[in-house]
Structures are given as C-alpha cells and as structure tokens.
Amino acid sequence: MRLKCCLVMPMILLPNLAMGQGAAPSYRSPYHLEFHHPTKALVGDLLEGPRGDPKYESETPHSEWYAERFLKSERPWGPRPRLYPPPPLAEGKSAEWKRERIIATASRYIGYDYQHHHLPDWSPPARGGTPGHKGLDCSNFTAFAYNQALGIHINSDVKEQAEGKVAKGAQHIGAKVTRIDRHDEESHPSWSARLKASDLVFVRNREGHISHVVLWLGPLGRSPDGTPLILDSHGEDVKDSAGVFVPRGIQIRPYRPGSWYDRSTSHALRLVHD
C-alpha cells in the first residue's frame, strides 16, 4: 500500500505533534512525501512509546532542562540528546524501509524553527523573558533524526559529521559509512541519480568550508515540477516552486540545478546500504 502524506500539515501524518513554534502558519508547501509503508509501520513506536516522547529526548531529566547551567549564554545549546539504542521495530527490515524510517522520523519536526539547540523540543526562555522557539540547526537536525530513527550516532557538529565521526559519548557509529564525492563539473542530473533517500549531502560556504547538511529525499519527495527535494533546517532565503519563500527552520526545499545547494555541494555520506 502506498501512503501519500502531505507534510504541509504534519498533524495528518503524526497526530501527537503540533507544528513547531517557528513555523509560518499560513505557509502551504507545494511539496509532499510519499511512502510505500503505512505510517504506523514506519514510526509507530515514536507515535505511541517513550522513544518519541519529547520529555525523553535527553538523558537529563525533563525537570532539569531549564537549569541555570543550560541558560547561561545568549545562544545556549541546552541538554545533549540521549543516545537511542537501535529500535526493535527496525530488526530484519530492508534498507528501503530504513530509509523511509529516517525520513518519516525527520518529517515529524517539519515546522520547527532554526535554532542552535541539541534537542528539537528544548525551548528556553530568551533574554528579556520572551519565550524561545523549539528547533534545531542543520547538523543537529540530521544527527537527531538518525539517532532517534535507527540508533545511529553521528556527530552533530557539521564538520565532524561530514567526516562520518561519532557523536560525543558514543562508542561507535553503529553503521557503515560510505562517502560519495561529487565529481568536478558533474551535472545536476548525474549527481542526483547517484543519491538515495536519507543520504546526507554536505554543502560548502563561500570560503569553501563545509557549512551545511541536508537529508536527500529521493523518490520519497514529490514536487509539482519534478525538481529533486531535500529536508533541512535553513534560513528563509529559498523559494519553492510557486515562487514563495520557504519559512526558515525545518522544511522541505528544492534542490534546483544551479542553486547554492547544487553549486556548492561537496559530497554525500550514505549510512544505510542495500
């Protein structure tokens, strides 16, 4: 059975979670995801069990998340995420199922803001008493998605993650890592064809350093004009196929030929193999 789910309204896919505080409530994305497996088969344990409960995203008790030690700077990172074990739900599953599991897990956070936090649901008070926003930056988002989905522990620093290094406190990454380099002058169609859903694609800044990472959606991502799609946490400077700026934070975005994503791509890492 093919499950078609529009992630403009994550409540349809994941009824236990509301849109992130950073979401633009009036924004309607022209993009969606299509899975081959039912939602419950992919993320049932996240919908109904402690693995998906925001209060258990860290080993630090939820009652201590807002302790002074996590609030002492203007841009605090907050508690570190727990190192989730491999989920029993994934035992014996195919690589194709695991790729869908990662994307379905990551899609639970669509609408969350761009924030320099370790945990998606950590929302500290900002200076002046104004409540902060839930959210993650690009590499904390990809690290958390792999961690929660499959118990794969990759470093949340973008440069360390680009090298396939393990998370702080982890003894092993829990998965084989294959680097896929983009050849010089390789065309957009050729590069796109070599990637698979859930691959991590790393992007350079103007100085040539790795500064960003995205989740490749592959055939799971559907766009009106057939443009390949990614899922990442980014600023509000990318237009969708309707010419509307995609809100900042965790959203589905296009990976267009000639775009910054395309021109500045360094390489990809594959952590799920056939």
Q: What is the pLDDT of residues 72-92, one digit of tens each?
A: 776 789 999 999 999 999 999
CA distance 144 to 164: 14
**Length of the chain, in residues:** 274
pLDDT band at 18 (very low <50, low <70, confident <90, very high): very low
pLDDT(143) > 70 = yes
Query: What percentage of residues in the chain have a pLDDT greater than 90?
Result: 80
Res 126: pLDDT: 66
Largest distance between two CA atoms of the chain = 52
pTM, 2 dp? 0.91
Q: What is the pLDDT of residues 43-58, one digit of tens each?
A: 999 999 999 999 999 9
Lowest pLDDT segment from 66-70, 181-185, 265-269? 66-70
pLDDT band at 4 (very low <50, low <70, confident <90, very high): very low
Using alpha carbons, select from 164, 180, 181 the residue that is nearest to residue 172: 164
Which residue, chain included where needed, has tokens 């403009």?
Answer: 8
CA distance 185 to 251: 28
Res 255: pLDDT: 98
Residue 212: beta bridge partners? 203
Res 127: pLDDT: 55
Res 17: pLDDT: 34
Phi-psi region of 171 (alpha: psi -120 to 50; beta: other; left: phi over 0): alpha
Q: What is the mean pLDDT of residues 10-36?
A: 62
Res 70: pLDDT: 87
Q: What is the mean pLDDT of residues 247-274?
A: 97
Please state, rounded to an integer, the average pLDDT across all residues of the chain. Answer: 89
Better-scored residue on pLDDT, 171 or 25: 171
Q: What is the pLDDT of residues 219-244, one digit of tens each?
A: 999 999 999 999 999 999 999 999 99
Q: What is the pLDDT of residues 170-224, one digit of tens each?
A: 988 989 999 999 999 999 999 999 999 999 999 999 999 999 999 999 999 999 9
- SS3 readout for 127-144: CCCCECCCEECHHHHHHH
